[in-house]
A = this chain, B = another copy of it.
């Protein structure tokens, strides 16, 4: 690790496209054509053995670090740990990330994905609910095809937050000879009853929106798509991924008042903090597809390491060294998920480290500490990758 003044920037990032034909899903269906985007940081070495795969979270995509152009307002989500001389050092490693199937951001120009909003080659119309259900295993299999297309057959490490951790764990379980190191951040080895029901809360409001029309809305003008339901789902996702500490800081910033004369007199008026949350959700809704969100929820609900009967069977296949980084204030995938994995590996004398994200108590972002606050474990991550 070097100090920040030595840190250089990544060169501008280019999103690339990968295409495969007749992709077989875990559920036994065939998708005639799959397109996904991918991007990379650093250089692949001659032996092609310096590869770190980054797997993204639910509302994320393969833009894990850097900027596309000078004018970008934001950098990739893990830019604090990916780059020259950073924890995941692009002077040493070829870091690569792939857009998921059924990525929520179907209409983001910087995302390439295949899902219900994609044109079905058999009909010339969007698949809608005819798109087959896909799973975390399928995301892993698409990533494997991307890597193989580059001549890669080994991962120095795979790392990801939240849904990204599920992909990372699935990689290590299903292709154990590929994966030397596994970093699971704010993650889980399996959906449980609680998480499955919590995820469903994101789906139901969309299906309540009369404009959802059982998923068959693409034929209508975009103004008639289920935007209200989608906006509500996004507001709920944002709140679930945060923590009261952070939310109440926002309240101070916007001068939130409990006893607000507007909401005392008008049942349809909304508290200022609600307007703040829903304005942000609504702004995001333009780029997001409702069906994609519903399919991505299902992929998460179906996740169990190894995609077999039990978590233990799936974990037993893993050969990689393991680093688990839960966020102590996480309300979405609480630390018990990581602790369950830590206990399993400790019992088997399998190399495992458990480190909590917890330095940011006053202003904790809860689950999102695994994205916005990951640099807290810069040194642990760097040591895990280089020692």
Q: Which residues of A does B touch, CB under 8 Å?
A: 26-27, 129, 133, 135, 190-198, 200-201, 204-205, 208-210, 215, 228-229, 232, 235-236, 239, 243-244, 247-248, 250-251, 256, 258-260, 263-268, 270-271, 273-274, 277, 294-295, 298, 301-304, 307-309, 331, 334, 336
| A263→B271 CA distance, assembly (Å) | 38
List the B residue with the shortest CB-CB distance to A191.
B258
Q: Are A244 and B302 in contact (CB under 8 A)?
A: no
5 A-B pairs besides A133-B265, A331-B331 with CB distance below 8 A are A133-B266, A191-B258, A210-B210, A244-B334, A264-B302
List the B residue with the shortest CB-CB distance to A226.
B208
Residues of B within 8 A of A204 (CB): 205, 232, 235
Residues of B within 8 A of A197 (CB): 235, 239, 247, 271, 273-274, 277
Q: Are B196 and A208 in contact (CB under 8 A)?
A: no
Q: Are B232 and A205 in contact (CB under 8 A)?
A: yes
User: Would you list 8 pairs from A and B whose C-beta atoms are within 8 A, ordered by A residue?
Assistant: A193-B256, A193-B273, A196-B258, A198-B239, A204-B205, A208-B229, A259-B308, A259-B309
Q: Are A194 and B244 in contact (CB under 8 A)?
A: yes
List the B residue with the shortest CB-CB distance to A249.
B193
| A321→B129 CA distance, assembly (Å) | 60
| A258→B135 CA distance, assembly (Å) | 12
| A105→B270 CA distance, assembly (Å) | 24
For residue A240, give the distance in angstroms from its CB to the closest CB of chain B: 9
Q: A235-B201, A251-B193 are in contact. Are A298 and B263 (CB under 8 A)?
A: yes
Query: In the complex, which of the residues A248, A251, A258, A265 has the most CB atoms of chain B within 10 Å of its own CB atom?
Result: A258
Residues of B within 8 A of A209 (CB): 208
Residues of B within 8 A of A267 (CB): 129, 133, 215, 294-295, 298
| A215→B266 CA distance, assembly (Å) | 13
Q: Are A265 and B27 in contact (CB under 8 A)?
A: yes
| A215→B307 CA distance, assembly (Å) | 45
| A210→B386 CA distance, assembly (Å) | 57
Residues of B within 8 A of A133 (CB): 263-267
List the B residue with the shortest CB-CB distance to A247.
B194
| A309→B258 CA distance, assembly (Å) | 8
| A195→B248 CA distance, assembly (Å) | 9
Q: Are B271 and A200 in contact (CB under 8 A)?
A: yes
User: Contact partner of A135 among B190, B198, B228, B264, CB < 8 A?
Assistant: B264
Residues of B within 8 A of A192 (CB): 244, 247-248, 251, 258
Q: Are B193 and A247 in contact (CB under 8 A)?
A: yes
Residues of B within 8 A of A244 (CB): 192-195, 334, 336
For residue A198, give the distance in angstroms from its CB to the closest CB of chain B: 6
User: Contact partner of A201 among B239, B248, B258, B304, CB < 8 A?
Assistant: B239
Q: A197-B277, A229-B208, A271-B196 are in contact. Are A302 and B247 (CB under 8 A)?
A: no
| A259→B191 CA distance, assembly (Å) | 9
| A380→B239 CA distance, assembly (Å) | 36
List the B residue with the shortest CB-CB distance to A206.
B208
For residue A304, give the distance in angstroms from its CB to the closest CB of chain B: 4
Q: Are A232 and B208 in contact (CB under 8 A)?
A: yes
For residue A160, give the distance in angstroms from its CB to the closest CB of chain B: 19
Residues of B within 8 A of A277 (CB): 197, 200
Residues of B within 8 A of A259 (CB): 302, 304, 307-309
| A201→B232 CA distance, assembly (Å) | 8
| A154→B266 CA distance, assembly (Å) | 35
Residues of B within 8 A of A201 (CB): 232, 235-236, 239
